[in-house]
Amino acid sequence: QSALTQPASVSGSPGQSITISCTGSSSDVGSYNLVSWYQQHPDKAPKLIIYEVTKRPSGVSNRFSGSKSGNTASLTLSGLQAEDEADYYCCSYAGPNAYLVFGGGTKVTVL
């Protein structure tokens, strides 16, 4: 099972909005509304920020939002802040054989 495709890096200025794409296939993202997103700061464990495509866990800022169209899921960060500088990973259910697959990760830089 191939990893989901994410851009290697995305950048934006404070206060701006950025969007990270996560492209899969009809075997994973396209077939299931079971996409999640994780934020990982350097040398820290990942943190769940979006699940089931659009839902935010309790305590996660509403500046994070998720969406999906066809085989591509997206994460939007609004009102970009310095603390948002981190790596972001998407993950999708991929059926009973492959089960779960992560994207390669996107480094977000706040200019």
The residue within the footprint of other proteins, chosen from 17, 69, 99, 109 (CB under 8 A), is: 99
Contact 5, 23 (CB under 8 A): yes
Cβ neighbours of residue 25 closer than 8 Å, sequence gap 6 or more? 71
Which stretches of the chain are assigned E, i.e. beta strand?
A: 9-12, 18-23, 35-40, 47-50, 64-69, 72-77, 86-93, 100-102, 106-110
Among 18, 38, 68, 74, binds other proteins (CB under 8 A): 38
Comparison of 5 and 78: residue with beta carbon closer to other proteins: 5
Query: Measured between alpha carbons, how far is 15 from 19 in angstroms, rounded to an integer?
Result: 13
Please report, as residue ranges, which positions from 49 to 88 form the binding site for other proteins (by CB under 8 A): 51-52, 57, 87
Binding residues with other proteins: total (CB under 8 A): 25
Does 3 bind other proteins (CB under 8 A)? Our answer is yes
Binding residues for other proteins, rule: CB under 8 A, are: 1, 3, 34, 36, 38, 40, 45-48, 51-52, 57, 87, 89, 91, 93, 98-105
